[in-house]
Amino acid sequence: LLEMAPQSRFFESATLHIHIPEGATPKDGPSAGVTIVTSLLSLALGRPVAHNLAMTGELTLTGRVLPIGGVKEKTIAAKRSGVKILCFPTENKKDFEELPDYIRAGLEVHFVSTYRDVYNVSLGEEMSHEKEPGRRKIGKAATMHTAESVESVEQGMHQLS
């Protein structure tokens, strides 16, 4: 927060308690790192995250975003929920590119390597939901925007059922 908004005095008057139960599924917990940090920054900055943005990635103490598992499953779940913009770790780019076209269709994907990249997409000045759709690069995050093909989505959606 000090780096992103040095003028913020949020933690001078706020107390936070984050409890992550020991009984949680170990493989599910770590990939929520970027999401937890983003939600806390959103609260502290008073700035909402786009409703059609989803993100995943384990976050190190130095701000590196580590790869995750289940790219296909997470992408399908995001599409079913109406998400149009995704943040995936850069190291998962190959996994995403190997997905069938009907799964990737209509998604704007940002491949991120540091939390700064996630911040730029989710809370920065150049948030995707404030821009016209299209291909662009934000910070060091590589961006892929796939054109939606109605035929390929229709073909694929019945295969997902």
User: Which residues are marked as active site?
Assistant: 31, 74
Please work out, in degrees rounded to the nearest 5, the angle formed at the alpha carbon of residue 31 by the alpha carbons of 30 and 34: 105
Torsion of CA 150, 151, 155, 158, to 10 degrees: 40
Evaluate whether 68 touches 89 at the Cβ level (below 8 Å).
yes
Please work out, in degrees rounded to the nearest 5, the angle formed at the alpha carbon of residue 102 by the alpha carbons of 158 and 124: 125
d(CA 106, CA 150) in angstroms, rounded, equals 9
Evaluate whether 120 touches 139 at the Cβ level (below 8 Å).
yes
- Across-strand partners of 59? 65
**C-alpha pair distances (Å), 140 with each of 1, 13, 117, 157:** 20, 34, 6, 33
